[in-house]
Amino acid sequence: MTVRWNISDRADAAHGLFKSPAASSTSRLTNGKPMDSGAVMRLSSNIAHLCYESCRHLVASPGLGPTAGTYQNAVGLYGPVREIGFYNDAVDALVISGSSGLPWDPRVCESFLAFVAADRQSDAGPPTLRSIRFSIDYTGDATNSSTSIGFAITTHNDPARLRDGDYLAFHGSGALSTGNQIYTQTLSCQLPITPRHHEAHPGRPASYTSGDTMGFPLPVYLWFGWKFVGTGTGNQINGMSAWESRIDPA
C-alpha cells in the first residue's frame, strides 16, 4: 500500500525550521490591513513544519530485570494458541511456528497504552496510524538456545475481546544475538483506522464523517515481548522505548 504524508510545503526544504515573522508583522493584524504575503508564507511553512515534527515519544520504561528466572522457557509461547496467543490467524501461524509469537503472559511481555496519531494517508481509504519505532535494550544469556524479540500494536490488551482488525501490526525478530544488545524496529500499520477502532474508547470523537480526512489519535497498546530459551540466569530486559516516526519501514 502506498502511503504519503499530508503536509504542506515548507520554506526550508532541507530542515523546515521555524522562522519567526518580524515583530512589525503583528501590526498587520489590524482591521482593514492586508496580510503581507511573506508573513503568510512563513506562517504556512511554520505550521507545516510543526505538523511534520509533531511525532510524540510514547514509551520510556525501565526493564524488569532478571527476577528468579521468570523469563526462561516462557510457557506463553508454547501453550495452546487460543489460550495465550493473539486470536488472529496470521499471528496464530507465527506462534505455531514457534519463533515470533507474542503471548499475553506478563512475565514475557509488557504493554503500554498510548495515543497514536492516525494521519498516514492511504490511497485506498481512511488514514492509518503513524509508523511506530520500537527499541528494546536487553541482555541475553550466552547459553540461550533461542533469543528473540517481538513488537505489536493492538487496540486493547484484552485477549477475550480481540477481534479481526484490533490487531494492527506485529514484528518478530527471529534469532538475535546474546549479550547486551539494543534491538530496534519500525512497525507500520497497514489497516485503515475506522470508527470501529474508536468504539471502545470513551473519549472517541462525538461524530465521524468524511473518514478520509479524520486525524484523531487512537489509543492503542504497544507491546514488547521477548523469548529467551535456556537455563541461564543472565537474561534481562533493561529498557523499552517507542515513539512516533515519519520513517516507513523498508
Partner 1 sequence: MSADGIIRQPTTGDLAAYAVGKPVSATHIARMAQDVGYLLGQNTQTVIAQCFAYRSSTNRTIKVSYTRNPGVSILLVEAEPHKGSAVVANGTITVTSSAGTIAWASPAAAAAPFNGTVGAFVAHSEDIARRRTWRAYLDVTGLAVGTTYDLNFAWADNSSGKGIAKLTVLECPISSANTVDFPTSDIGMDIGAIHSGLGISTNTTTSARGMARMLAQYDKCRTGNKRQWQVCTSELDADAFQTSSGSYATMMAAHSATNPTWRWRAQRHYTTTGDETMVLGWRYRVSGGATAALQILVDGVATQSTGLTSATYTEVTKALLIPCSGATDQEVTIQIQGRITSGAGTVYLSRARVCSNQS
**Considering only residues 185-224, where is the footprint of partner 1 by CB under 8 A?**
200, 202-210, 213-217, 219
Beta bridge partners of 153: 169, 222
Residue closer to partner 1 (CB basis): 133 or 227: 133
Sites for partner 1 among residues 97-116 (CB under 8 A):
103-106, 110-115
Q: Is there binding between residue 161 and partner 1 (CB under 8 A)? A: yes
| Of the candidate residues 66, 140, 150, 192, the single one contacting partner 1 (CB under 8 A) | 66
Evaluate whether 107 touches 76 at the Cβ level (below 8 Å).
Answer: yes
Please pick, from the candidates 9, 142, 175, 233, the single residue that binds partner 1 as defined by CB under 8 A: 9
Count of CB atoms situated within 10 Å of the CB of 19: 14
Determine, following the binding rule CB under 8 A, whether residue 244 of this chain makes contact with partner 1.
yes
Report which of 192, 188, 182 is spatially closest to residue 241, judged by C-alpha positions: 182
Q: Pick between residue 38 and residue 174 the one whose CB is nearest to partner 1.
A: 38
Count Cβ atoms within 10 A of the Cβ of residue 232 and give its class: 0-12 exposed, 13-18 middle, 19 or more buried: middle
* Helix (H/G/I), strand (E/B), else coil: 31: coil
Rule CB under 8 A: say whether 28 interacts with partner 1. Answer: yes
What DSSP assignment string belongs to 141-171?
A: -TT-SEEEEEEEEES-S-GGG--TTTEEEEE
> Among 158, 174, 231, 233, which residue interacts with partner 1 (rule: CB under 8 A)?
158
Stretch that binds partner 1, among 45-53, 87-95, 144-152, 168-176 (CB under 8 A): 45-53
Count of residues that bind partner 1 according to CB under 8 A: 106
